[in-house]
Amino acid sequence: MKYLHTMVRVTDLDESMDFYCNKLGLIEVGRKEVPAGRFTLVFLAAPGDEDAQVELTYNWDPEEYGSGRNFGHLAYAVDDIYDICQRLMDKGVTINRPPRDGRMAFVRSPDNISIELLQKGDALPSREPWSSMPNTGEW
């Protein structure tokens, strides 16, 4: 058995691609348009880890999917938790659970999918502004 991907439904493909690729840093590794089924599938992966994919499913006919909280979350190991959180904030992404401990943070996609960011290896030393930053919303 081999893990292939996790599928999340998105309501705005352009907005989701901007978040996952331009802000979070994933790359598109595949795309499939299915006119008969009226949907588009886009496969994304972290650079260098193309076997572990996220499948964005965009249904062409509008649909509401709820909060995404029942899904749980996607998780990615990062080289520098503070650097990626600052980069995301600079691009307008809310840090829902800041990396106060130098180890873990949470953000949400445009469709409210929770994304966990975990520091590779040991936690980084705690530092400001992160150590005193409060949680925002749900994560």
Residues 63, 116, 128, 138: which is the catalytic one? 116
Partner residues linked to 45 by β-bridges: 27, 53
Nearest to 37 by CA among 12, 63, 58: 58
Residue 84 φ/ψ, nearest 5 degrees: -70, -35
For this structure, is 116 an active site residue? yes
**Would you say 104 and 81 are in contact if contact means Cβ atoms under 8 Å apart?**
yes
Burial (CB count <10 Å: 0-12, 13-18, 19+), residue 18: middle
The set of catalytic residues is 116
